[in-house]
Structure 1
């Protein structure tokens, strides 16, 4: 999904033989899944009590509810660029079981996973409060601090390496791809926008150098962190939905919380940011962390663009028409940094 730290990014892979959303709706694929699910449920000491319900199909994943005599399970399959999620989820549950539930079963090679139903998410249970948001980001900070010492294990699952040194070249590759797409493609970039984005590149390089010079490590960056991707379990939180994870500057994880809170306009942002920053107080002071937060305004849009590019790489024409503008929208956020 990403470039090596000091080498060129790989060219786009061959187009998949079949769009992901078409594949996972096929009878043949469902038959494979049904057989795997039945075997894993039986091995886990449960019994399936009804038909499997495929609740959602998107270009990047599908979810199926599995009813059992001990409560429902959730099956999830990801598109190839995000198929690392089951192995990563299992690794994180081993490293920090207080923050991540262990999957019920995984097939790392196929990117398949079943997890135990935990009921409603924190965000579904009530309108998230300031304290809820603070708990979400501080739980994530703890998870990141644990994972930071396990870089090789995380990357071995297939998580994209989006560490700072990879960002400028990723920016170049993405911009070139966008500029060479057909003019009617939703992510085509005209010459004027290419020029404006190119002019920002020196600031991206400066941000990368600033982040690299700090003592704050890279770690997992959730990519879609909010209370709807967290369960409250016995007085603590469990984070899930790791399909967008990258190995990246840790403060990039605050981008989605900031975006949600700013869009809603109900809650102040600074107490949420500061609760997260406090969890790194022994590594860097608040002033340094605030400066790094500002720097990630240049790196996170580039890395997030890669996620969206990969998410729709195997999409149908209709899905591209619906979602194809998102990569360019994210890359263009560097203009506002």
Structure 2
């Protein structure tokens, strides 16, 4: 691939992050794989590359002649499953996700088309105040996708997607707490004191009649596209887990609350729960379950911060532990979805 302009590299808040991009043989192999993927689709690279390096991914924006850019992504070993999962989702639920141009599941590499406008950009570009109900339809569609994936849960696990199943969450919690180096003694004591209640929440949620399936675990407004009015596609599955599906509600609900205020939460909750209604479940039961999952979803967020490239320097590794600790401490807070009695 002959180009005149040098690559533009963005390291964000991690100037010392160690990624495979620094190794010339790896870089040449990866870009050769990209070139072969482009050729297979009759495409040709043009212009400079934009490279984003983080402790958890290598992402390269590649300009292509005559069409929108394409994206190369490389995951660390702990999230290498994303490539195979992305390809499988494009077969199982094609209306909700991107169809990759190429995938190397063994190496955790993906070549993806551009997905159109980010939902975040749509929100930011709205004339006047953004619509406080804007998250409702994306959440309905995301829940519909989760329901459609229920028959594939076993296959999702076989792809290497980490397990955070509801019945096993107390053990996951124990490992996350015991292995965290950033928790202060007071926080550590509080979390260990919470353990009996947490086990009860897990037991109750596991008995709520909603099977574990795919949880995106980080569904913020930069993780979905809005290519046209009323249609949304979901991407970036590196933090995913097989967990209670309602755990996915935590991140978008928190983000919507920060942007629009807490009064939007009841409508967003009920929009997300609409596809789960029926089969004898009452709205009260579903609302109780999503409140439990709001709290327990913090465990999946905490664990996902361990999926970094090997050799990540102490500063980035410490940041991961600090973020993990912050999410673990969220377990101590009452969810802002009020019921008649606290958890």
Give 4+ residue runs of structure 1 displaced > 6 Å after superposition: none
Measured after TM superposition, the shift of residue 42 of structure 1 is: 0.4
Measured after TM superposition, the shift of residue 43 of structure 1 is: 0.9
Q: Who is 1:67 aligned against? A: 63
Q: Distance in 1 between matches of 2:39 and 2:268?
A: 43
Measured after TM superposition, the shift of residue 126 of structure 1 is: 3.1
Q: Who is 2:269 aligned against? A: 273
How many residues matched? 310
Q: Distance in 2 between matches of 1:131 and 1:301?
A: 24
Measured after TM superposition, the shift of residue 130 of structure 1 is: 3.3
Q: Distance in 2 between matches of 1:20 and 1:149?
A: 39
Q: Who is 2:255 aligned against? A: 260
Q: 1:138 aligns with which of 117, 133, 140?
A: 140
Q: 1:48 aligns with which of 36, 42, 45?
A: 45
Q: Who is 1:216 aligned against? A: 210
1:109 alignment partner, SS class: coil
Q: Distance in 2 between matches of 1:217 and 1:243?
A: 22
Asked if the contact 1:75/1:114 (under 8 Å) is kept, the reply is: yes
Taking structure 1 as the reference length, what is the TM-score of the superposition? 0.86
Asked if the contact 1:168/1:204 (under 8 Å) is kept, the reply is: yes
Q: Who is 2:115 aligned against? A: 118
Q: Who is 1:24 aligned against? A: 21
* C-alpha spacing 1:222/1:206, structure 2 compared with 1 (3 Å): same
Q: Who is 1:205 aligned against? A: 199
Q: Distance in 2 between matches of 1:91 and 1:41?
A: 20
Q: Residues 243-258 of structure 1: matches in 2 within 5 Å?
A: 243-258=238-253
Q: Distance in 1 between matches of 2:241 and 2:187?
A: 27
Measured after TM superposition, the shift of residue 24 of structure 1 is: 2.1
Measured after TM superposition, the shift of residue 314 of structure 1 is: 4.8
Q: Who is 1:299 aligned against? A: 296
Asked if the contact 1:20/1:60 (under 8 Å) is kept, the reply is: no
Q: Who is 1:171 aligned against? A: 173
Which consecutive unaligned segments of at least 5 residues does structure 1 have?
Answer: 1-18, 182-186
Q: Who is 2:4 aligned against? A: none
Q: Which moved more, 1:25-34 or 1:202-211?
A: 25-34
CA-based RMSD of the aligned residues comes to: 1.9
* C-alpha spacing 1:265/1:51, structure 2 compared with 1 (3 Å): closer
Taking structure 2 as the reference length, what is the TM-score of the superposition? 0.85
2:68 alignment partner, SS class: coil
Measured after TM superposition, the shift of residue 234 of structure 1 is: 4.0
Q: Distance in 1 between matches of 2:294 and 2:73?
A: 31
Q: Distance in 2 between matches of 1:30 and 1:261?
A: 38
Q: Distance in 1 between matches of 2:265 and 2:253?
A: 7
* C-alpha spacing 1:26/1:247, structure 2 compared with 1 (3 Å): same
